[in-house]
Amino acid sequence: MTSKDQYALEVNNLAVEFATYGGTVKAVRNVSFKLRKGTTLAIVGESGCGKSVTVQSIMGLIPMPPGKITSGSALLNGEEILGLRQDRLNEYRGKRIGMIFQDAMSALNPTMTIGDQIAETLIVHRGLDKKSAWAEVISLLALTQISEPDRRALQYPFELSGGMLQRVMIAMSLACQPDVLIADEPTTALDVTIQAQILNLLRSLQEKQGLSIILITHDLGVVARMAHDVAVMYAGQIVETGSVDDIFYRSAHPYTVGLKDAMPSNKTVDQELRVIEGSPPDLFAPPVGCGFYARCAHAMKVCENNTPILFGTNHVARCWLHHAKAPVHPLQQSLKVPYQSTSIK
Amino acid sequence: MIIEARQLRKYFTIAKGQVVHAVDDVSLGIEENEVVGLVGESGSGKTTFGKTLIGLHDKTAGEVFYRGQNLPSHYRAEDFKKQASEIQIIFQDPYSSLNPRMTIGEIVAEGVLIRDRCSFASVRDRVVYWLERVGLHSDHLSRYPHEFSGGQRQRVGIARALIVEPKLLVCDEPISALDVSVQAQVVKLLDELKSSMGLSMLFIAHDLSMVRYISDRMAVMYLGSLIELGPADNVYFSPKHPYTQLLVKSNPEPDPEYERQRSDALIQGEILSPINLKPGCRFAGRCPLVEARCREERPLLREVAPGHQVACHLVN
């Protein structure tokens, strides 16, 4: 099987900068990842780590200037999609890659009915006439299990709740039957009960339509429920990637461990939360060495001035602890377990 | 008991004949040095309960006792002045709750300046102490809110509330605007202050795991009603009310193996509008176990295990 058949999206060495009055922000620094067909890749990280900028560059949504993609490639089913002209961009954006956002209310047009907004996509991209577009709108809305799809299509965004708006966004992003769906914090603004409904919906759509999903989130609980593979981002770089089990049970990077320990788990009653001291580095002048150096409990001398290389093959960590010359450390065991791809029910 | 709400009710009239039942006959007490976590979906009335409890909303009915003293149902300016040094609140939104035209120093000092009628110079050291206590720096004194991140602003809000050394702190979603690692910092700080200052807290949040972590007791609200109350671990690990059971089942756990075995039994539909509610159990419309009497008679809180109260007809 060639990589084109195996991966829906392959991103290599992506680097993005923004020119600001304060200087150049190196928001994304040499990010590479692969999205296996029909699976979910979660990109996890805290605000400002570059996770949204990464997917926005892939979608061609970065305003340039001030933004600039300084290097890298993104292959959608083997075809390069970075740096396309506007007209070529519109052929895949919305059509072959759909996107949903955290704030569905502000992503929708408040002066158009739900139905008209979804129909617009169908008329522009799929060339449907008005009447068949409307029929398709209703069936798309029904697909998202929204209550009373016929009535919702005639309503305006302000009349719907956050959960319903997120269903509308999903209906709209699926209108052109994309191969890849990018979901940027789709449930962050929702209640847990509604979050569970939306996550279930995404999972059943994946099963039915073979969707490949990139899920951006900071919630490790959502990652555990949804992801097959995970990429952990910190300070503009991916610091660890692997299957969801690798990341949770065999974490190889101190930052991944820190994130896990900072979240309460309900498995043990008397868990002590551990705090990651300090704050992320300034990306105006990213550290010469490891981005996590200043906050890392296991930092060594080499970490201060040398950016770590990637260690491991399928489960990969950007950390000097895995170098052959590093002193013995428990995290080193993590990369020695053979990779198994995870399947989710 | 440091504070006790008895049959507290807050209705809002939004139009002729349209009444929002935001808080409906909620009775809830907080012991000295206790943290009570209050959870529920948006629209369940948890923030309104917190604000009505400390007088930021007028009460529609019911009473609130602070250390045995009956608090007024409508606060005048003097009441706030008297109460504010003992009862404080951390607001949910760290962006809109800080005055953009005041410096961090002015914001944090304001409470003490009003209470003690003294000069800024005399309290400067205390302001710096509290800024450092919450992980900020004396350099930040003369900066403005817009120069800070969400997490830092939330900590300014905490310093502002704690500088008057209150006895009771209402935390209204203090961590929902923060990143995971910063959430842990804030929760640890509050936990530590609880022990060192003997603080009592009402901790309002929708993150069940975090609430279970920090709270002694957990209270669950649904459409203005208090439906379950008990020791936090009991409520989380053996919930009695059908709604609490579904809420806990929906809560994502950072553990892939656990998530793969999770059942898909989900709560259907969405929370109803709290306008002109019908009689009967508030959860009847979405409850998988609903019976005829649930739609007619509103269940009251009953004790089902020591210290564990539930409002459901079907729980024995």
Is the Cβ pair A192, B213 closer than 8 Å?
no
> What pLDDT, on a 0 to 100 scale, did the predictor assign at position A338?
67
Distance CA B262, CA B57 (A): 41
pLDDT in tens, B95-127: 888 999 999 999 999 999 988 888 999 999 999
Task: Label residue A112 exposed, middle or buried (CB < 10 Å: 0-12, 13-18, 19+).
Answer: middle
Distance CA A156, CA A97 (A): 25
Tell me the three state secondary structure of residue A146.
coil
Is the Cβ pair B181, A47 closer than 8 Å?
no
Q: How far is B302 from chain A (nearest CA, A)?
A: 25
Is the Cβ pair B213, A271 closer than 8 Å?
yes
Q: Tell me which DSSP letter residue A49 carries.
A: S
Amino acid at A246: D
Distance CA A225, CA B149 (A): 30
- Out of B237, B259, B270, the one facing A224 most closely (by C-beta) is B259
Cβ atoms of A230 and A247 within 8 Å: the answer is yes
Residue B136 CB neighbour total at 10 angstroms: 21
A260 in B contact zone (CB under 8 Å):
yes
Complete DSSP assignment for B250-308: HS--S-HHHHHH-------S-PPP-BSPPSS-TTTTT-TT--HHHHHSPPPPEEEETTE
Tell me the three state secondary structure of residue A57.
helix
A197 in B contact zone (CB under 8 Å):
yes
pLDDT in tens, A146-169: 888 888 899 999 888 888 888 898
A46 in B contact zone (CB under 8 Å):
yes
- Out of B41, B42, B236, the one facing A266 most closely (by C-beta) is B236
**How do beta strands B18-30 and B3-15 pair?**
antiparallel
Interface of B with A (CB under 8 A): 41-42, 149-150, 179-185, 187-188, 206, 208-210, 212-213, 233, 236-237, 246-247, 249-260, 262, 264, 266-267, 269-271
Q: What tokens does B106 get?
A: 């002015």
Q: Which residues of B touch A264 (CB under 8 A)?
A: 209-210, 212-213
Is the Cβ pair B252, A225 closer than 8 Å?
yes
Tell me the three state secondary structure of residue A344.
coil
Is the Cβ pair B259, A342 closer than 8 Å?
no
Task: Label residue B114 exposed, middle or buried (CB < 10 Å: 0-12, 13-18, 19+).
Answer: middle
Q: Measuring CA to CA, which residue among B305, B184, B233, B311 is closest to residue B37?
A: B233
What is the C-alpha end-to-end distance of chain B, expressed in Å?
A: 28
Q: How far is CA A310 from CA A32, A109, A242, A281, in A?
A: 11, 43, 12, 20
Is the Cβ pair A263, B270 closer than 8 Å?
no
> What pLDDT, on a 0 to 100 scale, did the predictor assign at position A345?
44
Cα nearest neighbour of A49 on chain B: B179
Distance CA A92, CA B259 (A): 34
**pTM of the shown model:** 0.86
Q: How far is A81 from chain B (nearest CA, A)?
A: 32
Q: How far is B252 from chain A (nearest CA, A)?
A: 4
Distance CA B57, CA B75 (A): 8
Q: Measuring CA to CA, which residue among B293, B309, B292, B291 is closest to residue B241?
A: B309
Cβ atoms of A48 and A1 within 8 Å: the answer is no
Task: Label residue A87 exposed, middle or buried (CB < 10 Å: 0-12, 13-18, 19+).
Answer: exposed
> What pLDDT, on a 0 to 100 scale, did the predictor assign at position A233?
94
Tell me the three state secondary structure of residue B142.
helix
> What pLDDT, on a 0 to 100 scale, did the predictor assign at position A283?
79
A222 in B contact zone (CB under 8 Å):
yes
Q: Measuring CA to CA, which residue among A100, A96, A226 is closest to residue A163?
A: A100
- Out of B237, B253, B270, the one facing A221 most closely (by C-beta) is B253
Q: Which residues of B touch A47 (CB under 8 A)?
A: 149-150, 179
Q: What tokens does A333 get?
A: 């065991």
Distance CA A343, CA A326 (A): 33
Distance CA A68, CA A62 (A): 8
Q: Tell me which DSSP letter residue A327 carries.
A: P
- Residues of chain B with confidence (pLDDT) below 50: none
Task: Label residue B229 exposed, middle or buried (CB < 10 Å: 0-12, 13-18, 19+).
Answer: buried
Blockwise average pLDDT, block size 10, chain A, 345 residues: 79 91 87 93 88 89 86 88 80 84 85 92 87 91 86 90 85 87 86 85 89 92 93 93 92 92 81 80 83 88 89 89 84 74 53
Is the Cβ pair A221, B260 closer than 8 Å?
no
Q: What is the largest CA-CA distance in chain A?
A: 69
Cis peptide before A63 (omega within 30 of 0): no
Tell me the three state secondary structure of residue B199.
coil
Q: How far is A249 from chain B (nearest CA, A)?
A: 9
> What pLDDT, on a 0 to 100 scale, did the predictor assign at position A2?
66
> What pLDDT, on a 0 to 100 scale, did the predictor assign at position A343?
55
Q: Which residues of A touch B150 (CB under 8 A)?
A: 47
